[in-house]
Structure 1
Amino acid sequence: MTRPLARSMPGLSVQPDGQRAIVRALPEEVPIALVFDGTTQAVMMATPGDIADFAHGFALSEGIVDDLSQIEDFEEADHGGGIEARMWLRTDRAEALKARRRVMAGPVGCGLCGIDSLDQALRPLPRIAAGSPLLSRADVAGATEALAGLQPLHAQTRATHAAGFLLPGQGIVAVREDVGRHNALDKLIGALARTGIDASAGAFVMTSRVSVELIQKSALAGCPVLIAVSAPTATALRLAEEAGITLAAFARGGGFDLYSHPDRISTGVSHVA
């Protein structure tokens, strides 16, 4: 069963010059249960597309597995009221998951809902080594505009986020969309891993603000650069600094703000005090 990603819904547009009946395309969101070895680890509200990418990306970005070879089998089951993404883990990873079992309930705007301790909210992250990729000023300044042209669901509904993967000199080579920004990034991480694209070779590009969970997912995916159209939180910026991630925010209109670990981006201009 293939679910539609959007539906046409009637409404009434009320404007200063009058009102009129309208029909708008609105994105669907459904409960997605992420099930490991028969036990639900998380239930997230998400766009019902690219479910395999979402499940595999979630497993990687939550540290449930370190490599997709540790997932022995996968199936997708649609129950009408929602979708189960079922994964079976290699024995050692299954045992490790039992030791850190948590249940999350994640509405659209939240990537950390349901954790069972404060320590999990700001868990230690792997540090990404200094060095490549080296992105040009033009790569970063044009990233979100390029991403905007690769979002068919957003063009239809104006109600979804996207995550893109940018390679130096090649532009954006992969995109995933979802009603939730963190879901879109999980889908992208899963898509890259499933197609053998190394996340350390480029940059993630986001249509959203940068919050803590986006830095956490980037670090666990091994991606050294995060480019976003909007602002980071102060905590996200501190976390990016600690994790060795280059953070470029407000990337729009031909410019951007450059924060942590700027050496991966060649700005081509002198710093202004």
Structure 2
Amino acid sequence: MPSTQLSLNIPPLPSREPASCPNAPVQAPELVRGAALEHYCAGAMQGRTAMVVVEEPLRITVPGREDIILPRTPGDDEHLIAGHLFTLGLIRSHADILDMTFRGNAPAQAVVRLRQTPPRRAPGPLSGGPRIDPEQIFRLRDGFEQRQRLYHSTRATHAAALFKAGGELLAYGEDVSRHCAFDKAVGAALKGRLLTEVDIAMLTSRLASELAAKAAAARIPVLCGFSAATSSGMELAERSGITLIGRMGGDGFTVYANGWRIRS
């Protein structure tokens, strides 16, 4: 069956930089494909057409370093690369990316030249940050769920959103990989010079240590997830001063670390 492209019609987020780098791909990427499937229901197999999310590898080449290969949903690749390099500590700001050249091979490749900068020091624990009304968590969650257009079409993606404490959405990413979704959101905020304004990160995934580490690198004081936290994610959040919130279902949630930011 021919592939079908999905139009998400999501308004762009605010940015104080040009919309894309000069070498970014111009053609819109294919996010989903139509597929002829079989579905078992009520004792019988039935034919069905469904939308399947695209997953393709992206090879990131930084001269002088080992290549990075990320299985991801195409789209927002510039934000993905910037966010990933930032959370690895290879850049301090979007300006540290001198240029980014995309090549449409299989896998797709991005060659990235970076400014030479001193290594980032490991940040100390977060001690400040906002006090959050519990009802605000639910309001953000409900709006976040409505925004997940790709997930509603395929049931196969994760999403990440970055908010101010007052509820303003600063950046958003959606991807087949929960790590890439978070990197896309971080990269978008980094490019727009909005990362320092982020108070809350919200993820659809479980709260594992890798995701808590990304929040710590981005200095985000509150990290929320739809699923539970792991023991290492909880311990890293506790050491980093991050308020870790999971199991956001119905009218309740679980606080795993640093609950003092939640108003009672």
TM category (shorter chain) comes to 0.7 to 0.9
Post-superposition offset of 1:129: 2.6
Take 1:27 and 1:186, find their aligned partners in 2: how far apart are those partners?
A: 18
Preserved CA contact (<8 Å) 2:54 2:74: yes
Tell me the TM-score normalised to structure 1 length: 0.81
Q: Give 1:171 deviation, angstroms.
A: 4.5
Match of residue 9 from structure 1: 35
In structure 1, the residue matched to 2:75 is 49
The 10-residue stretch of structure 1 (37-46 or 47-56) with the greater mean CA deviation from structure 2? 37-46
**Which segments of structure 1 move beyond 6 Å, counting only runs of 4 or more?**
none
Aligned match for 2:55, one of 15, 29, 40: 29
Shift of 1:174: 2.6
Aligned with residue 87 of structure 2, among 46, 56, 61: 61
Amino acid at match of 2:74: P
Q: Structure 2 counterpart of 1:86, which letter?
A: V
TM-score scaled by length of structure 2: 0.84
SS of equivalent to 1:165: strand
Segments of structure 2 that go 5 or more residues without pairing to the other structure are 1-26
Contact 2:83 2:188 (C-alpha < 8 Å) held by counterparts? yes
Asked if structure 2 preserves the Cα contact closer than 8 Å seen for 1:144 and 1:228, the reply is no
3-state DSSP class of the match of 2:227?
coil
Q: Which amino acid aligns with 1:84?
A: Q
Q: 1:41-60: per-residue Cα shift (whole Å, max 9, x none)?
A: 31011001100000000110
129-138 vs 245-254, which deviates more? 129-138
Task: Return the offset for 1:71.
Answer: 1.6
Partner of 1:86: 111
| Alignment partners' CA distance in 2, 1:54 and 1:205 | 17
Distance 2:32 2:53 in 1: 4
Measure, in 2, the Cα distance between the counterparts of 1:86 and 1:265: 43
Q: Which residue pairs with 1:232 in the alignment?
A: 229
Q: Partner of 2:246: helix, strand, or coil?
A: strand
1:11 counterpart letter in structure 2: L
Tell me which moved more, 127-136 or 207-216.
127-136
Match of 2:123 in 1: 126
Match of 2:152 in 1: 155
**Alignment correspondent of 2:5:** none
Letter matched to residue 14 of structure 1: Y
- Give the aligned partner of residue 75 of structure 1: 101
Q: 1:250 aligns with which of 247, 251, 264?
A: 247
Q: Which residue of 1 aligns with 2:11?
A: none
Residue 208 of structure 1: aligned partner: 205
- The question of whether the paired residues in 2 share the 8 Å contact of 1:36 and 1:86 is answered with yes
Pairs aligned (count): 238
Q: 2:257 is paired with a residue of what secondary structure?
A: coil
Aligned to 1:120: none
* TM superposition shift of 1:38: 6.7
Q: Which amino acid counterpart does residue 161 of structure 2 have in structure 1? A: G
CA distance in 2, matches of 1:199, 1:140: 20
Taking a change above 3 Å as real, the CA distance of residues 137 and 200 of structure 1, as seen in their structure-2 partners, is same
Distance 1:23 1:193 in 2: 39
C-alpha deviations, 1:156-182, integer Å up to 9, x for none?
A: 111000001122222444321000101
- Equivalences for residues 110-189 of structure 1 within 5 A: 125-189=122-186
Look up the SS of the partner of 1:135 in the other structure. Answer: coil
- Native 8 Å contact 2:158 2:181 kept in 1: yes
Does the aligned pair in 1 maintain the 2:162–2:198 contact within 8 Å? Answer: no
Cα distance in 1 between the residues matched to 2:111 and 2:132: 38
Counterpart check, 1:18 vs 2:18: no
Q: Identity over aligned residues, as a percent?
A: 28
Are the aligned partners of 2:244 and 2:258 in contact in 1 as well (CA < 8 Å)?
yes
Q: 1:68: Cα distance to partner?
A: 2.0
